[in-house]
Amino acid sequence: MGAGKTTIARTLGLPVVETDASVPIELFAQGEHAFREREEQVVRETLERSEPVVVDLGGGAVTSERTRALLRERATVVWIDAGVDACWERVAGSDRPLAQNREDFERLYDERRTLYEQVADVRARDADDVALAAAGIVVANGELQRLGQYVDGPVALVSDPNVAGIHGMDAQLALGPRLQEMHELPAGEEAKTLAVLDRLWQDLRLDRTGTLVALGGGCTTDAAGFAAATYLRGIDWVPVPTSLVGQVDAAIGGKTAVDLPQGKNLVGAFHWPARTIIDPLLLDTLPEKERREGLSEVVKTSLLAGENLHDPLDVRRCAAFKAAICLRDPHDHGERKRLNLGHTFAHALETAARYEGVTHGQAVALGLKAALRLSGEDTKLVDELLQPRPVRVDREAAWAAMRRDKKTVGGELRLVLLREWDVPVPERDVRAALDELIAG
């Protein structure tokens, strides 16, 4: 009690059940046992729901063995590890029956701490930690060396030649005897073709107990994730993003896809990873050009979050911001569309270039500039940090790709603007904005 659970739970934007509020405090007059029995019932009923929910447990809920068993079976348990002084300061003088005396409160804190350690899947400090835990995302230096702790059963490791040459051995050592097979995909967008996926599907030998580990950038995790979503009608997968694009965006939230000549990411599936392992130390090996590629996604997140996440670079906060949105809207029916800011234009440019000569980062930078202009917003941040320059692509091919985009509904172009999404925009305005991004 007093750790700040309720405040943090409400920031996630998911339905919240507060067990303390659901159990009459008057039951304490009949003894703590009566209170805990009713609390067990509330926890059981809540965890039986099919929709995602945040359960804000009372501080003593885990003293019940039956409640602990329910949590192990049905929940991701996050321990908000606040110090005893901070907790006492928040509850002192309240009407809580177990917070009337400092000495008794400290004794209770010490007794329960062991139970918290036993039942918790994750120890958290703030709302970002909770969002990451709920999404199954681990962000910490050195996690590649601990990769084997996050997978069970046989593993197939998928990477591209460049990444495999730099990080492949560390991944193999971390996976140890779990590693049963290894596969290579081409680097870049070439990995996201049906021909490449067909070869991977045929080469995989995992059964349904297996896990596909995708080690690489956003193209590798997109393609390997789609392979996992469809192989044997779906097996577990664990992305380990090695690029900045992957760590702040592409590997988060379970979107997997490959490209068609008519457009980017037109064939895919939502397949949430069993775990996402983000090791920021892997960015140390990135060439500066690749780091700048990822900066476009970081700037996009800064714009959406309304805070500076780019200077200094805050991978953890970027990942948590996207994770929280994806938890609230896992299948892209509403708020998650915000994350496509600038991407309708970007994907059109990439498609028109046939995925050669225009990089994803360049295209997103240009797309962000166009989206901000249509939003009536200042483009200074994009101009200064990303320095977008018009690219040479076929205008009609880019326009055709935009009209084929996934966000087009009934032939009507719908765009993501800075402060709203799924916005119908007059065709002439969209075409004019697109033309400004194309040189010549």
pLDDT exceeds cutoff 90 at 321: yes
Q: Please tell me the predicted confidence (pLDDT) of residue 432.
A: 96
| Percent of the chain residues past pLDDT 70, beyond the cut | 100
CB 60 within 8 A of CB 112: yes
Continuous segment of H or E residues that includes residue 81: none
**Domain-embedded: residue 301:** no
The least confident of 31-35, 55-59, 337-341 is: 31-35
CATH of the domain at 419: 1.20.1090.10
84-98 mean pLDDT: 88
Q: Are residue 373 and residue 397 in the same domain, yes or no?
A: yes
Q: The CATH number of the domain where 78 resides is what?
A: 3.40.50.300
Are 196 and 281 in a shared domain? yes
User: What is the Cα–Cα distance from 225 to 240, expressed in whole angstroms?
Assistant: 11
- How many domains does the chain contain in total? 3
State residue 194's pLDDT score. 96
- 11 — pLDDT class (breaks 50, 70, 90): confident
Instruction: Give SS3 for 165.
Output: helix
Whether 32 and 85 share a structural domain:
yes
Distance, C-alpha 341 to centroid of its chain: 16
Residue 303 pLDDT: 98
29 part of a folded domain: yes
Q: Is residue 323 part of a domain?
A: no
Among 126, 155, 174, the domain boundary falls at 126
Which tokens is 214 given?
């995708």
pLDDT score of 146: 97
Contacts of 103 (CB under 8 A, 6+ apart): none
Report whether 4 contacts 129 (CB < 8 A).
Answer: no
The answer to whether residues 102 and 36 belong to one domain is: yes
∠ CA 419-439-348 to the nearest 5 degrees? 50
**Best CA proximity match to 192, nearest among 391, 347, 377:** 347
CATH assignment at residue 236: 3.40.50.1970
In a domain, 14, yes or no: yes
Structural domain includes residue 114: yes
The residue to which tokens 């029916």 are assigned = 333
Q: For 389-439, what is each residue's pLDDT tens digit?
A: 999 999 999 999 998 876 777 778 889 999 998 899 999 999 999 999 999
| Residue 6 pLDDT > 90 | no
Helices (H), 154-276: 161-175, 194-203, 218-230, 244-245
Q: Are residues 262 and 153 in the same domain?
A: yes
268 strand-pairing partners: 257
What confidence tens digit (pLDDT) does each residue in 339-372 have? 999 999 999 999 999 999 899 999 999 999 999 9
Cα separations in angstroms, 41 against 55, 70, 351: 13, 11, 54
Average pLDDT over residues 71-95: 90
Q: 38 falls in which pLDDT band (50, 70, 90)?
A: confident
Whether 218 and 106 map to the same domain: the answer is: no
Q: Tell me: do 20 and 115 sit in the same domain.
A: yes
Predicted local confidence at residue 32, as pLDDT: 76
End residue of a domain, out of 93, 126, 159: 126
In a domain, 310, yes or no: no
> Last residue of a domain, which of 251, 286, 321?
286
Mean per-residue pLDDT over the chain, rounded: 93
In a domain, 170, yes or no: yes
* Average pLDDT score over residue span 198-214: 98
98 & 168 share domain = no
Q: Is there a domain that residue 326 lies in? A: no
- Contacts of residue 167, Cβ cutoff 8 Å, sequence gap at least 6: 144, 159, 215, 242, 282, 285
Whether the per-residue pLDDT at 96 is higher than 90: the answer is: no
Q: What is the pLDDT of residue 340?
A: 95
Question: CA-to-CA distance for 146 and 148, rounded, in angstroms?
Answer: 6
Same domain? For 109 and 165 the reply is: no
Letter string b/e over residues 111-131, b meaning 16 or more CB atoms within 10 A of that residue's CB: ebeebbeebbebebeebbbbb
Could you tell me if 217 and 278 lie in one domain? Answer: yes
Same domain as 167, residue 117: no
Specify the pLDDT at position 281: 97
Neighbours of 68 (CB within 10 A): 17
Q: What integer is the mean pLDDT of 365-381?
A: 97
- Please give the average per-residue pLDDT across 282-301, as a whole number: 94
Q: For residues 36 and 93, what is the distance between their CA atoms, to the nearest angstrom?
A: 23
Q: In which element (H, E) is residue 159 found?
A: strand 155-159
pLDDT at 19 over 90: no
Domain that holds residue 87: 5-126
Cβ neighbours around 288 below 10 Å, total: 7
CA 16 to chain centre: 20
Same domain as 56, residue 11: yes
**Model confidence over 235-291: pLDDT tens digits?**
999 999 999 999 999 999 999 999 999 889 999 999 999 999 999 999 999 999 899
